[in-house]
Amino acid sequence: MRIAVFPGSFDPVTIGHESIVLRATSLFDKVVIAIGDNAQKSTMFSVEVRRQWLELVFMEVPKVEVTVYYGLTVDFCRDLGASFILRGLRTSADFEFERSIGQINKKLDDSIETVFLLTKPDHSALNSSIVRDLVRFKGDIRSFIPDALQPEWLINEFNKGRVG
């Protein structure tokens, strides 16, 4: 079985992530979206909420699973029996960043291949940090988040975080 792990923060999931995952389902038997729970990285949304939103977005796509992982991505792939790491490439800056991670991962485990999908042109300017800024400053996020999500959910979560 060809299993790909799609690691990331998904803080929050965007239509860019959604598109990469859907496109990857024609290449792999299973795509495991893996939310990296990195204590060093502070996020706007809790790992539980990020997971719930991803599960909702891919609820009707049987090949897609959502999970949370700690530690090295290659270790997680090995535990899962996954031979592929999936990443999206938006810009040349992404390429430089991904090249170094990809080459280190290859050094750590030669049996795992990183596979890149080029972003659709209309998604190449989009990232989660733009969505977070829009949430923070009350901009309209509707066209950047998957249809399965309501903008109000993100706004409510953000407001909870500010109080708590």
Which one of 106, 127, 153, 158 is in contact with ligand ADP (CB under 6 A)?
127
Q: Which is nearer to ligand ADP, 40 or 164 (CB)?
A: 40
Q: Which is nearer to ligand ADP, 99 or 163 (CB)?
A: 99
End-to-end CA distance of the chain: 44
Choose the binding region for ligand ADP from 24-32, 61-69, 75-83, 86-94 (rule: CB under 6 A). 86-94
Estimate the share of the chain in helix, then strand, then coil, as percent rounded to the nearest 5. Answer: 45, 20, 40
Choose the binding region for ligand ADP from 16-24, 43-51, 104-112, 135-143 (rule: CB under 6 A). 16-24
Q: Which is nearer to ligand ADP, 77 or 163 (CB)?
A: 77
Interacting positions 22-81 with ligand ADP (CB under 6 A)? none
Half-sphere exposure of 126 (CA within 13 A, CB side): 24
Q: Which is nearer to ligand ADP, 51 or 87 (CB)?
A: 87
Helices (H), 12-150: 15-24, 47-57, 73-80, 92-108, 128-136
Cα(31)–Cα(5) distance, rounded to whole angstroms? 6
Give the total of residues touching ligand ADP (CB under 6 A). 16
Contact 17, 148 (CB under 8 A): no
Q: Check if 123 is active-site.
A: no
3-state DSSP call for residue 21?
Answer: helix
Q: Check if 26 is active-site.
A: no
Q: Check if 142 is active-site.
A: no
Choose the binding region for ligand ADP from 2-10, 50-58, 147-155, 156-164 (rule: CB under 6 A). 2-10
Cα(27)–Cα(137) distance, rounded to whole angstroms? 38
Cα(153)–Cα(145) distance, rounded to whole angstroms? 11
Q: Which residues bind ligand ADP (CB under 6 A)?
A: 8-10, 14, 16-17, 20, 87-88, 90, 94, 119, 123, 126-128
- Active site positions, annotated: 17, 41, 90, 128
